Amino acid sequence: MRRWFIGSVVASLVAAATVAAAETYEVDPVHSFVFFRCLNVAQAGAIFVYGRFTDIKGTIVVDKDPAKSSVAITINADSLDTGVPDRDKHLKGPDFLNTKQFPTITFKSRSVQAIDKNRYRVTGDLTLHGITRPITVTVTKVGEGKNFKGMQVIGFETTFVIRRSDFGMKGLMNVAANEVTLTVAIMGIKK
């Protein structure tokens, strides 16, 4: 009887540890999006230029204790697409992203704090145009569950503003505004 009780306690502890363990998700590039919006100053500030990056990779670690969660995202800067090839070429060139010299944009979290049930304050390092700066963003958990293929998925989204000049892109302020709004919508598939 005593042996059964000890075995039962050990099994319960193992089960509890398994439930509390962090879950790792791989970013699904098909269902993840990074959009940007910048005011076109050259057009009298009458219109925004919109675009996206189409090549996104990364890992999301989700723990019941948000402080143990993390995110690491890598974007292929050359995957920029505004729908206008000549504009894309200019944005990828030395006046803006300079994708030949700086081929990737990365974000790596340093801390995650819960704001409420589905919102988190995520602080980390954003590296863009070869310059790394700390940023803090509010991230919303959009949802989680099994997708139509039966795979466990989770989704997060955030929108925030950066300044081009903070990342060494100080030219052509008479063409494109300094402030750029980024929306990052990421879906992860459990490994």
Tens digit of each residue's pLDDT (9 = 90 or more) over 54-100: 999 999 999 999 999 999 999 999 999 999 999 999 999 999 999 99
User: Strand pairing partners for 138?
Assistant: 121
Residue numbers of the domain that contains 134: 22-190
pTM, 2 dp: 0.86
Q: Is the residue at 106 inside a domain? A: yes
**Residue 144 covered by a domain:** yes
Distance in angstroms (rounded) separating the CA atoms of residues 43 and 1? 82
Number of domains composing the chain: 1
The per-residue pLDDT for range 173-188, each reduced to its tens digit, is 899 999 999 999 999 9
- CATH number of the domain within which 106 lies: 2.40.128.110
30 in a domain, yes or no?
yes
